[in-house]
Copies of this chain bind each other. A is one copy, B any other.
Amino acid sequence: MKIALAQLNYKVGDLEGNSRKIIEQIRASAAAGAGLVVFSEMALTGSPAGDLLEFDELTGRSEALMREIAAECRGIAAIVGAPSRNRTGRGKPLHNSAWMLAGGEVKQLIHRQVSVNYDVADDSRYFEPGAGDITTGINGLQLAVITGDLTPEGALPVNRRTLPEGVSLIISIAASPFHYNRPLIRRKAIRGLALETGLPVIYVNQTGANTSLIYDGGSFVSDAGGNVIRELPLFSEAVEVVEYDASWSGGRPAPEVVIDEEERDIALIHDALILGIRDYFRKSGFKKAILGLSGGIDSAVVMALATEALGAENVYGIMLPSHFSPSHSVDDAHALAINLGCRADIIPIEEPFHTLEKSLKPHFGDLPFGLTEENMQARIRGVILMAMSNKFGYILLNTSNKSESAVGYGTLYGDMCGGLAVLGDVYKTDVYRLARYINRNGEIIPLHTIVKPPSAELRPDQKDSDSLPDYDILDKLLFRYIEKQNGKQELVEMGFDPGLVARVLKMVNANEWKRYQSAPVLRVSPRAFGSGRRMPLVAAFPG
């Protein structure tokens, strides 16, 4: 039997649009001779649907549409992820289900049998785990169907003992959001599943980004040894028709998948961010981005990524120099815009800054220039960029990186403005790696932007290193605290300087309130700021 793997990009909540997409693909797969087409988890609603799932009207419409989709399944069967009503009268009102469609009707529902609740996953908020048989027969082939990502703990949803006799193939459908280790984690999990059950596995994941979460796709077929024998691309829609055959059930055990948790493939992050930007704009009906260009590395990388995502004609940079801006700032920013072919303009902030200083003079008196005045400059830039955004319909891209966001080295309502924080989950050291990657075929980001010492340029001769530790050390420490939840004592035992640990943890903790109000972050790490990290704002913190 031919089986189509449909790795599609869904819009959250767009039941009508998603169902049209699914129906189109059912027809195309039938035309290509497939006996079965497999869609990802929650394909009809898109993932993550969040509290949309609390609207009874939405789930009613969803069930009705599933019956319409089923009516299209003649001469071809389909497995489609969608919610279904829990009719047991106990627990949460929905199941997270794989809908088995064949013969023009809904043949069977196979529910997700576990719930995971960690990071960005809140299964138990919406879904009641189902029980019962997870197998189904299609064209004489007996399948086991697993809905939803494999649990992070690696516990397998089926094993050799619980799986009924006669199953030849496992279908695993997921909506599994990307982070830089996720493709390998998935491989490892599916290899484990194949080896445990002695069965081949077809894994189908969603692609596309929905605000913070980027779904990488990367669907694949694994033989019974856990070897990948067919693979769909990352970060794009793709459909592949594969022919199930007996050789899949063979295969020597694949080598173990080794994951280095501190390693990150910068090309993957690069591609993920581009998809994240592109889908945020496309799905919210916008085309054009604006951003503040400082001449520094963060805004340069964001502009380069945005240009790749949206096209040079849709990306507009504004340079907002103050009297503290060295001339190279505007020069570097200009050179960048020229390299990218983007429009860039200058709007100096000196005059508005002085007017505001004057307005505040009766209150500030002769108090010295300080952090307040630094913040004021950043906020005036925010006002100007938002005015341009409002007047002409641009989305303002935020350029803060994860290191500065972590320690609060940024101005709320100033450089923290923006609709989307492109680099909010990328540590500064990785921003440099991204810049070098962007320049892999020639200079796009001006070399001077990469080599000069980073600076906020809010007071004379300011440098990041005046108030922050070296980014190499800082980023390692932040990774252990944020991604790995190591506490103060543990960090010191790992060899970090006790004074530095105390200082950095205090900065991170003291700035939860600022991050609470920051733009949604494109998530590329196992723990991004945002809905996956739920820290109290007013608290005494570990360490």
Chain B neighbourhood of A51, CB < 8 A: 485, 533-535
Bound Cα distance A241, B487 (Å): 39
Interface residues of A in 1-27 (CB under 8 A from B): 11-17
A534 touches B391 (CB 8 A): no
Q: Give chain B nearest CB distance to A120 CB in angstroms.
A: 10
Given A352-B352, A386-B379, A57 and B124 touching (CB < 8 A)? no
Bound Cα distance A414, B237 (Å): 40
A519 touches B520 (CB 8 A): no
Given A58-B542, A383-B380, A536 and B13 touching (CB < 8 A)? yes
Q: Counting CB contacts under 8 A, is A463 at the interface?
A: no
Q: Counting CB contacts under 8 A, is A450 at the interface?
A: no
Q: Counting CB contacts under 8 A, is A313 at the interface?
A: no
Q: Give chain B nearest CB distance to A387 CB in angstroms.
A: 5
Among B48, B118, B383, point to the contact of A125 (Cβ < 8 A).
Answer: B118
Count copies of this chain in the complex: 2
B534 touches A520 (CB 8 A): no
Interface residues of A in 494-536 (CB under 8 A from B): 513, 516-520, 531, 533-536
A488 touches B535 (CB 8 A): no
A359 touches B372 (CB 8 A): no
Chain B neighbourhood of A409, CB < 8 A: none
Given A122-B117, A375-B390, A383-B383, A536 and B487 touching (CB < 8 A)? no
Q: Counting CB contacts under 8 A, is A49 at the interface?
A: yes
Q: Counting CB contacts under 8 A, is A293 at the interface?
A: no
Q: Give chain B nearest CB distance to A494 CB in angstroms.
A: 12
Whose C-beta in chain B lies nearest to the C-beta of A395?
B513
A345 touches B363 (CB 8 A): yes
Interface residues of A in 31-72 (CB under 8 A from B): 46, 48-52, 54-58
Chain B neighbourhood of A473, CB < 8 A: none
Q: Counting CB contacts under 8 A, is A243 at the interface?
A: no
A48 touches B413 (CB 8 A): no
Q: Counting CB contacts under 8 A, is A360 at the interface?
A: yes
Choose among A17, A279, A359, A419 the residue with the greatest number of B CB atoms under 10 Å from its CB.
A359
Q: Counting CB contacts under 8 A, is A171 at the interface?
A: no
A489 touches B57 (CB 8 A): yes
Interface residues of A in 109-125 (CB under 8 A from B): 115, 117-118, 122-125
Interface residues of A in 328-368 (CB under 8 A from B): 345, 347-349, 351-352, 355-356, 358-360, 362-364, 367
- Chosen A-B contacts, 27 in total, with CB atoms closer than 8 Å, are A13-B540, A13-B541, A50-B536, A51-B534, A52-B539, A56-B485, A56-B487, A56-B490, A115-B124, A118-B125, A283-B538, A351-B359, A352-B352, A352-B356, A355-B355, A356-B384, A359-B384, A372-B390, A372-B391, A375-B386, A375-B387, A376-B383, A379-B386, A386-B413, A513-B520, A517-B518, A520-B537
Closest 10 CB pairs of A and B: A57-B487, A14-B540, A12-B539, A13-B539, A124-B124, A372-B390, A117-B124, A355-B355, A13-B540, A372-B391
